[in-house]
Structure 1
Amino acid sequence: MKVQHYAGLILLLSSSMVSAAEASSESKGKWHEGFSGTAMLLFGVAQSDSQADSGNDTLDSLDDKGDTKTEAFIYPVAASQVNYTFKGGNQQLFMGASNADIALGRPNFQIGYGQHFEQVGTFKISYIPGLLKSTTWEDPFLVGSKRQETDQRIQAARFQYQEILGTGLGFELATGQRKIDDELSASNYNPDVQSQLDREGDLYYSELSYLTPLTPRLFLRSSVAYLKQNAKGDAMASDTYTGQLVAVQKFDSSALTISIKYQYSKFDDTHPIFLETREDDTVGVLATYTYDNIFDWPGVGVALMGGFTEKVSNIDFYQSSNLVLASGVRYVF
């Protein structure tokens, strides 16, 4: 099983999600001046029965059901971010995995610049160089021989406009490319089938979100998103629509986050092997709990989490369920 596929779930620092809704009384600007950041060590266990991206090394048939596999993992410094805020507190350079992205289950290593304007909002532009890789099969459809792993990554440019006109409204646009080191899908089929199943290509993403303070310590983030995967292979190109609700409850020294996500994907063309046009429905639930300044150690905290996703597809090969349980220690400076 490829533990890297769980990076979007297990990198968690949920308390930062509500920072946009809380005015700082300790700084005259949006952020604290100077250097700041976060580092985290994470360990846990992940379970999956996916055939398309993990599952069995060797298939006797594409109709085989994936065996459920469990694997322990350790991520040294799993979530790290370094910021530098200029004098005044409204201009910032940042590098690393955004805490808000981590809590939402979509971490990306990014390098960028943020600018805050009073009563207008916060603008961020960033570049995602694809340093956070995941693994997949070179040829997911290989039967009778051992399938080999390869790395895949996303490189992108990103624009965010948050706290629009002083409200909880947020907007995001991103464009990029999915790259696979060794894309050998359908290597035992004819060139026409291979071309239809090429997974590399361009990505276009947009999201509209709203952060609502229900009480001084309880926040609800709702969002809708659209992802266009313009893959080179027509059978791999798709439109994906996502709805997500995230509730964040803050306590004196801790925070609890519960996220529910639904995703629907419709693919552009008939799959040349399974002779159907693929459609996927995915439901995911993620809960995280963080505790700060444990044992009264300044900046040192712990985190616990559990997440489950279930994908149902009209093509059995793409159906899967995934479970992850993890804990970690983090340091905030």
Structure 2
Amino acid sequence: MKKVLLASVLVSSLLLASEQNYIEFGGGVINSKDNFSTENKNNNPTLNNADKESMGVAYLEFFYGYDLTDSLNIYAKSGIDGFKVGTNYKNFDFGLKADISEEWENPFQTGTKRKETDVSEFGLYAAYGFSANTNHNGAIRYEFSGVNYEKETVIDDLKREGNRHIVSFENLFRSKLIDKDVTYFTNLSYEKYDADGKASSYDRYDFLLGASTSLNEKISLSLFTNVGKKAYEKKNIEVDKKVDVDIYGVNAILNWDKPFNYENTYVSLKTGYEKEEANADFYDKENSFGLISVGYKF
């Protein structure tokens, strides 16, 4: 669930409440084909494509910030990408992050029941924001985290514990189109995952392009598309290939501000599709989702 909704949810948060306190909750449905997800069946007969699974999901996100001075702010936030606590000082943003999830002890196990294991990730991040002009906001961001598995039963070359490095370059542009205010987004990111097993280490490149505009005084529409590439470092002997993955997807977000004239509230509908197409069938992933949520800004 997390990897599917992440891009849409993060952009949604930026659109709705970049530095606005809010809480948002809701739910929806996700259709997924993913051999690495613990929502997938726990007994695989072969290392072929995953079966399609449909499931209900719950969603909760919040952001709370407090101004210590005119130029210094502290905040805490939680969402699909985990928990963060940090501070903004003038053009700088830095803090700590944490996330807890579940994965398979051995996702490549066939013929017998696979077991789940807890995964924890802790790290830090830092960003520098800037503006080229009054219609632009940009940021350069770096994140580092360590990933720990409670138990792994894969071979040494596929051990997944390791360190994650992410560098991203984010931009927001404002303009007018047919008398409508339009905001454009771009995000170029590079991730290096340095795992204990070189066949689980990879380099990943992603590019996101999007736009947002108001349809009327209360309703806004945002559309996004993303493409990416993931290349693993060493041949995976389980699938007998050095795995390469092409990634692409589309997302849409419809926001309704002050529904039925309720002040400080909003309703958000998010939907999207993402596919990861690999040169090894076992690594193929395909996900679509629909999510509706209600938020309160304070």
Flag whether TM exceeds 0.5 (same fold).
Answer: yes
1:87-107 Cα deviation digits (max 9, x unpaired): 43x32100013xxxx7xxx73
**Aligned residue number for residue 37 of structure 1:** 21
The separation in 2 between residues aligned to 1:86 and 1:312, in whole angstroms, is: 47
Q: RMSD of the alignment, in Å?
A: 2.2
**Aligned residue number for residue 296 of structure 2:** 331
1:185-207 Cα deviation digits (max 9, x unpaired): 2xxxxxxxx11001110111101
**Aligned residue number for residue 268 of structure 1:** 233
Moved over 3 A (4+): 3-7, 9-13, 15-20, 164-167
2:119 partner letter:
Q
1:207-261 Cα deviation digits (max 9, x unpaired): 1122111227211111211111001100011111111102111342232221111
Mark the CA change 1:153 to 1:256 in structure 2 (over 3 Å): closer, same or farther.
Answer: farther
Q: Say whether residues 1:52 and 2:17 are aligned partners.
A: no
**Aligned residue number for residue 65 of structure 2:** 83
Q: Structure 1 stretches of 5 or more lacking a match?
A: 21-30, 117-121, 186-193
**Aligned residue number for residue 166 of structure 2:** 205
Of the three residues 309, 313, 316, the one matched with 2:274 is 309
Indicate if the aligned counterparts of 2:47 and 2:281 stay in contact, CA closer than 8 A.
no
Mark the CA change 1:257 to 1:181 in structure 2 (over 3 Å): closer, same or farther.
Answer: farther
**Aligned residue number for residue 93 of structure 1:** 74
**Aligned residue number for residue 68 of structure 1:** 52
**Aligned residue number for residue 149 of structure 2:** 180
The separation in 1 between residues aligned to 2:211 and 2:193, in whole angstroms, is: 29
Of the three residues 181, 185, 206, the one matched with 1:242 is 206
Q: Say whether residues 1:228 and 2:212 are aligned partners.
A: no
Q: Say whether residues 1:156 and 2:156 are aligned partners.
A: no
1:152 partner letter:
V
Indicate if the aligned counterparts of 2:144 and 2:165 stay in contact, CA closer than 8 A.
yes
Indicate if the aligned counterparts of 1:15 and 1:255 stay in contact, CA closer than 8 A.
no
2:141 partner letter:
E
Mark the CA change 1:18 to 1:212 in structure 2 (over 3 Å): closer, same or farther.
Answer: farther
Task: With the length of structure 2 as denominator, give the TM-score of the two structures.
Answer: 0.90
Q: Say which structure is richer in strand.
A: 2
**Aligned residue number for residue 189 of structure 1:** none
**Aligned residue number for residue 14 of structure 1:** 12
Mark the CA change 1:171 to 1:245 in structure 2 (over 3 Å): closer, same or farther.
Answer: same
Mark the CA change 1:256 to 1:108 in structure 2 (over 3 Å): closer, same or farther.
Answer: farther
**Aligned residue number for residue 27 of structure 1:** none
Indicate if the aligned counterparts of 1:279 and 1:314 stay in contact, CA closer than 8 A.
yes
1:148 partner letter:
K
Identity of aligned residues (%): 20
1:225 partner letter:
S
Q: Structure 2 stretches of 5 or more lacking a match?
A: none
Of the three residues 173, 181, 193, the one matched with 1:217 is 181
Local SS of the residue matching 2:34: coil
The worse-fitting range, judged by mean Cα deviation, of 46-55 and 230-239 is 46-55
